[in-house]
C-alpha cells in the first residue's frame, strides 16, 4: 500500500491549489444558476412548479374591486382604486398582473386579468389567480347546489379517480432537468478530473521532479493509483455536494448510492484519459490541448444521442444517470449491464494508461 503515501501528498496538493478552488466556486455558481433556470423553464409550461420557490413579495398583483372571496395564495395583493387604464397601471405600479373584479350582477361574477407578458413571473401569477378562481367557483357551486337540497358531491364529483405513484414533477421539468441539466451538473467534476490528472503528472515533468518520483519504490501501477485516487475522491465529493445542494433546493434526486457509483466509474474513465494524455505530453500546455479535444468529443458522445433522441440514447451513461435520478424504482437487471461495461472500460483504460506511461518512459531512457 505504498501508493497511499503518494495519494496523501496529492490530496494535500489538490486542496492547496487555488485554481481548483476557483473552479469549485465557478461550478457552485453554475449549479445554483442551472437549478433556477430549470425551474423557470418548467414554469413556462407549468407555472405552479415555482410555488414555494418564489417569495410572494416578488409577485405584485393589483386588485381593483372586492376580492374578499378570492384566496390569492403565493401573491402580494396591491389595492388599485382606478382600473380605467389597466396597462398604464401595470407599468406605473410595477405590477405583474392586474385583476379587475366588477360588482357582480345576477349572482354571476365576471373577472378580468391583465398580465404583463414581458415579466417572467406572469405565467406564475396567471396560474395562481386561475387556481384561486377555480376554488371560488367550486365553493359557490357547492353552496348553491346545497341550497337546492341536493348533495354537492353527487353532482360535482360523481366519479373519483385516485392515482398512486404519479410523477411529482411536470413532464417538461423531468425531460429538461433529469435528461440534460442534471447529468451536466454532475459531470462537471468528472470533466475537471481529466485536467487535474494531467496537471498532476505533467506538472511533475515540468518541475523536473518526475524522474525523482520514478526512482521511488513505486511501480507504475502504484504511481497511477497514487495520482488517481485523490482526484477521483475530490470529484466524487463535489458531485455528492451538488446532489445535496439540489435536494436542498427541493429537487428530488433518487438512488444516490447508485448514482455516485456510476459517477465514480466515469471519474476513473476520464482520469485514465488524463493519464494517457500525460504519457504523451511533455508540457501542461500540450496536455491541456489534448484534454480540451477529449472533453469536446466526450461531451458529444454523451449528450448528443440524448438531445437528438437517437437510437444510441440507451447506450449513453447520461440516460442511465437520468433514470437513476428521476425514478425511485429501478430494476437491477436493466441497469447492471451499463455498470459492468463502464467498469470494464474504466479498468481497461487505467491499465492502458499505466502501460503507456511505462512505454514512453522506456523509450525516453
Instruction: Give yes or no for a contact between 317 and 299, defined as CB atoms under 8 angstroms apart.
Output: no
* Neighbour-count burial for 108-145, b at 16+ CB within 10 Å, e otherwise: ebebebbbbeebebbbbbbbbbebbbeebeeeeeeeeb
Q: For 260-308, how does the pLDDT look when each residue is reduced to its tens digit (9 = 90+)? A: 999 999 999 999 999 999 988 888 888 889 999 999 998 888 887 766 6
pLDDT for the residue 191:
93
* Residue for grid cell 378570492: 70
Rounded Cα–Cα distance for residues 198 and 88 (Å): 60
- Does the domain at 49-156 match CATH 3.40.190? Answer given as yes
Segment 340-348 long-range contacts (CB within 8 Å, at least 24 positions apart): 342/262, 342/265, 342/266, 342/269, 342/317, 343/265, 345/269, 346/265, 346/266, 346/268, 346/269, 346/272, 347/268
Rounded Cα–Cα distance for residues 37 and 153 (Å): 41
Q: Which set of grid coordinates corresponds to residue 77?
A: 395583493
Rounded Cα–Cα distance for residues 44 and 42 (Å): 5
> Considering the entire predicted model, what is its pTM?
0.70
Domain ranges of the chain: 3-43+170-364, 49-156
pLDDT for the residue 256:
92
Segments in the chain below pLDDT 70: 1, 38-54, 104-107, 162-175, 250, 306-314, 363-365
Question: Given 3-state DSSP classes, what are the helix, strand and coil percentages for the chain, each rounded to the nearest 5?
Answer: 70, 5, 25
CA angle centred on 325, ends 320 and 328, rounded to 5°: 105
Amino acid at each position: 500500500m505504498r501508493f497511499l503515501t503518494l495519494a496523501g501528498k496529492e490530496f494535500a496538493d489538490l486542496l492547496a491549489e487555488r485554481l481548483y478552488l476557483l473552479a469549485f466556486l465557478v461550478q457552485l455558481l453554475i449549479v445554483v444558476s442551472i437549478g433556477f433556470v430549470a425551474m423557470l423553464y418548467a414554469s413556462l409550461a407549468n407555472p405552479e412548479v415555482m410555488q414555494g420557490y418564489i417569495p410572494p413579495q416578488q409577485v405584485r398583483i393589483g386588485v381593483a374591486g372586492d376580492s374578499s372571496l378570492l384566496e390569492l395564495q403565493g401573491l402580494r395583493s396591491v389595492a388599485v382604486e382606478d382600473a380605467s387604464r389597466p396597462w398604464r397601471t401595470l407599468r406605473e405600479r410595477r405590477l405583474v398582473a392586474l385583476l379587475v373584479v366588477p360588482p357582480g350582477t345576477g349572482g354571476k361574477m365576471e373577472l378580468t386579468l391583465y398580465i404583463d407578458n414581458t415579466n417572467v413571473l406572469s405565467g406564475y401569477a396567471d396560474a395562481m389567480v386561475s387556481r384561486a378562481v377555480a376554488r371560488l367557483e367550486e365553493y359557490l357551486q357547492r353552496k348553491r347546489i346545497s341550497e337546492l337540497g341536493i348533495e354537492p358531491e353527487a353532482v360535482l364529483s360523481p366519479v373519483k379517480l385516485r392515482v398512486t405513484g404519479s410523477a411529482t414533477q411536470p413532464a417538461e421539468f423531468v425531460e429538461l432537468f433529469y435528461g440534460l441539466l442534471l447529468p451536466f451538473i454532475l459531470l462537471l467534476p468528472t470533466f475537471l478530473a481529466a485536467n487535474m490528472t494531467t496537471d498532476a503528472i505533467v506538472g511533475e515533468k515540468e518541475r523536473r521532479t518526475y524522474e525523482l518520483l520514478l526512482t521511488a519504490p513505486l511501480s507504475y501501477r502504484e504511481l497511477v493509483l497514487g495520482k488517481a485516487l485523490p482526484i477521483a475522491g475530490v470529484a466524487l465529493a463535489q458531485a455528492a455536494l451538488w446532489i445535496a445542494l439540489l435536494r436542498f433546493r427541493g429537487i428530488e434526486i433518487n438512488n444516490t448510492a447508485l448514482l455516485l457509483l456510476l459517477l465514480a466509474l466515469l471519474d476513473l474513465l476520464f482520469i485514465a484519459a488524463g493519464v494517457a494524455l500525460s504519457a504523451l505530453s511533455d508540457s501542461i500546455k500540450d496536455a491541456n490541448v489534448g484534454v480540451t479535444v477529449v472533453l469536446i468529443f466526450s461531451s458529444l458522445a454523451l449528450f448528443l444521442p440524448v438531445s437528438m433522441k437517437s437510437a444510441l440514447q440507451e447506450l449513453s451513461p447520461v440516460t442511465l444517470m437520468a433514470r437513476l435520478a428521476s425514478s425511485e424504482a429501478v430494476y437491477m437487471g436493466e441497469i447492471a449491464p451499463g455498470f459492468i461495461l463502464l467498469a470494464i472500460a474504466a479498468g481497461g483504460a487505467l491499465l492502458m494508461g499505466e502501460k503507456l506511461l511505462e512505454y514512453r518512459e522506456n523509450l525516453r531512457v
